[in-house]
Chains A and B, each alone.
With several copies, the nearest count.
Chain A
Amino acid sequence: MIREQPTVVSLDGDVDFASRKGVREKLLGAVGPGRPLLLVDLSGCGAVDSEGLAALLSVAQAIHERGGVMKFCSPSPFVERLFHVTRLGLVFEVHRDRRTALESF
């Protein structure tokens, strides 16, 4: 079986109200034409707030509309709590580390 290879993007700055446009552009710009497969590595990101999560959700929805898949890996404990209280951890597929996430595609 040949496994499809997702595009991996590491978010390294803040993911919040101030940076939401740049985050959207970075993620949507990273996937090529065709069916997008995207893995977002959160290990290095700075401050995250609900507007940042909203930007991630809007990207996930755009990718889903194109028949693609977007997953996450390596959230900090704080980002895990934010996924938890917003219930977005139930909507997004979030993996503990990058290896596990890559194997899931």
Chain B
Amino acid sequence: MSPFDPRRGSARVWVPASAAFLSPLRIFLERSLEAWLGEALVRSATEELLVAVQEAVTNVIRHAYRNGPGIVEVALDLEERGEEAEVCVRDTGRPFDPASVEPPDFAHPTPGGYGLHVMRCFADRCEFGRDGRTNWVRLTRRVRAASEIRAETT
């Protein structure tokens, strides 16, 4: 796991790599975004970011740790002047090259294989990497209403 960055305005969670923790994780991220942005939080963008994060965590559970034991780290970056939320999902499971994955065959739908596609559709940016023995996915999404941004910068 990466060293802790004690900057104010970021929240971080570690949970066991288990489907049972998807719901605690999702509600924690949602409430933290509400704590941060209040009325300026755009609900539809938040829903999409949170499902993109859930796809990333589900892939860590199923593929990186192959449904075995492991820890998932999720960091939510709450930059005070930013208009974007950034969520970084980290694991220490097996490495993975997203470029090697074929996109879904939309003409022949199968039950599965949509996770990476949904992440890319619902995040504004979706980057993958590996530092030492840690894999990470960084999902970025604008979640603050535009009027708020203008009100602050004028």
Using CB atoms and an 8 Å cutoff, list the residues of chain A in contact with chain B: 14, 16-18, 47-51, 53-55, 57-58, 61, 77-78, 81-82, 85-88, 90-91
Contacts and interface: CB of A to CB of B under 8 A. Distances in A.
A85 B20 CA distance: 26
Nearest to B54: A49
Contacts of B122: 85
A16 B58 CA distance: 10
Nearest to B118: A50
| Majority secondary structure of chain A interface residues (helix, strand, loop or mixed) | helix
Nearest to B27: A47
A17 B19 contact: yes
A82 B51 contact: yes
Nearest to A47: B26
B148 interface: no
Which 4 A-B pairs rank lowest in CB-CB distance, beginning with the nearest? A50-B114, A18-B19, A54-B111, A58-B111
